[in-house]
Amino acid sequence: MLYAQIHLTLPAWVHDVVDTGRSYPGDDAKVELAIDLARRNVDAHSGGPFGAAVFGPDDRIIAVGVNRVLPQSCSLAHAETMAFMLAQQRIQRARLNEPEPGVKSGPVTLATSAQPCCQCYGASFWAGIDRLLIGARSEDVEALTEFDEGPLPADWIGELQRHGIAVVRDLQHDTACAVLRDYGRLGGPGY
Amino acid sequence: MLYAQIHLTLPAWVHDVVDTGRSYPGDDAKVELAIDLARRNVDAHSGGPFGAAVFGPDDRIIAVGVNRVLPQSCSLAHAETMAFMLAQQRIQRARLNEPEPGVKSGPVTLATSAQPCCQCYGASFWAGIDRLLIGARSEDVEALTEFDEGPLPADWIGELQRHGIAVVRDLQHDTACAVLRDYGRLGGPGY
């Protein structure tokens, strides 16, 4: 039997906590949302301790994502990749920041609770974002949990910048690390 | 409005051409299938010139993938990532080669018509494969088409090997390049 359809979902609780009408001006507010999603995902046992959100030029949410790897048996279902796919499905474009005639353009931002692993790092090049906002570093993830973040190019930030993607790190760093620390203490995965 | 569901599909023609009962012993036969899928995807105008397949220890197909980026408005829908997600959905495990009590284990193989881009490279670390078989090189892709393959770690093959993934390149190389060359001549994308 040949499988030909993939169906991935966010947990139902996102509808109760995410307000797409709200504006998130500034980098800290955006990463705060990503970290809040990570925390809620752990609390709800709906996936790993990672959250992300894609914001449009108006600082409003285009889509959010949380880690769904184990609940959905899908190694691609990281927080960042879920947010990318959902944002692209919503605006029906494979590259989020591709200019469209007659539509006001501006920066598209991904905020993530922790530095993208090697998979999400690679995905960031093709998703069509202009800015990447990061909470915890990969060193934090690997120190506080059992997750492997995988290999990156030596100058990983420079590579993004050369593709037009600005990187800001260490936003809400302590709050981001607290989620990872609590998850690590619980002995996760198992979520 | 918050999007919370992602639905991705392979083109309908895969059901007519993929025989999951057939065995594909040897590396060349596996990559031949991946290249054939790439060729058919171009001919059917159902996505970019890339194909991939995941094989179980018995040399039979677990899942196949083709590039679906533009038809499905999804930058994650590369051939390799589609094959990974479909294989994981079929066997209901996030890591394909994770040992399961009472189930015979053995190597899981990804065959791909062209070297994984930075996104699919990263995804290969978490999908649970033991072997990665490659047709065309990234240099070929970038020379023969307009695709950017993105940055990789300097020792990208070594990084895979240290994660237990063996790499074989240049399988059916000329046939793989021919698909890319024909696609490039057509002036793709636009598919």
Rounded Cα distance, B34 and B19, in Å = 13
**One-letter amino acid of B64:** V
Burial of A171 (0-12, 13-18, 19+ CB in 10 A): buried
With cut-offs at 50, 70 and 90, classify the pLDDT of residue A101.
Answer: confident
pLDDT of residue B101: 75
Average pLDDT over residues B106-115: 97
Query: Smallest Cα–Cα separation from A1: which of B91, B128, B46?
Result: B91
∠ CA B90-B91-B92, rounded to 5°: 95
CB contact under 8 A, A85 and B70: no
Q: Write out chain A residues lying below 8 Å of B128, CB-based.
A: 75
Partner A contacted by B1 (CB < 8 A): yes
pLDDT of residue A191: 43
CA distance A76 to chain B (A): 7
Residue of B nearest to A91 (CA): B73
CA distance B61 to chain A (A): 9
Q: Do A80 and A51 form a contact (C-beta atoms < 8 A)?
A: no
pTM of the model as a whole = 0.97
pLDDT of residue A189: 59
Q: Do B54 and B82 form a contact (C-beta atoms < 8 A)?
A: no
Average pLDDT over residues A102-112: 87
C-alpha A123 chain-centroid distance: 11
Q: Is residue A30 within a helix (H) or strand (E), and if so which, with residue range?
A: helix A27-43
Q: Do B185 and B152 form a contact (C-beta atoms < 8 A)?
A: no
Rounded Cα distance, A169 and A161, in Å = 13
Burial of B109 (0-12, 13-18, 19+ CB in 10 A): buried
CA distance A102 to chain B (A): 20
Rounded Cα distance, B109 and A64, in Å = 32
Domains by residue range for chain A, with CATH: 24-97+104-186 (3.40.140.10)
Token couple for B172: 């059916």
For tokens 């080669």, name the residue. B97
Partner B contacted by A88 (CB < 8 A): yes
ipTM of the complex: 0.96
Q: Which one of A5, A82, A122 has the shortest CB-CB distance to B122?
A: A122
CB contact under 8 A, B118 and A120: no
More confident residue, B186 or B89: B89
Q: Which one of A74, A122, A154 has the shortest CB-CB distance to B94?
A: A74
Residue of B nearest to A75 (CA): B94
Residue of A nearest to B4 (CA): A10
Partner B contacted by A53 (CB < 8 A): no
Rounded Cα distance, B46 and B21, in Å = 24
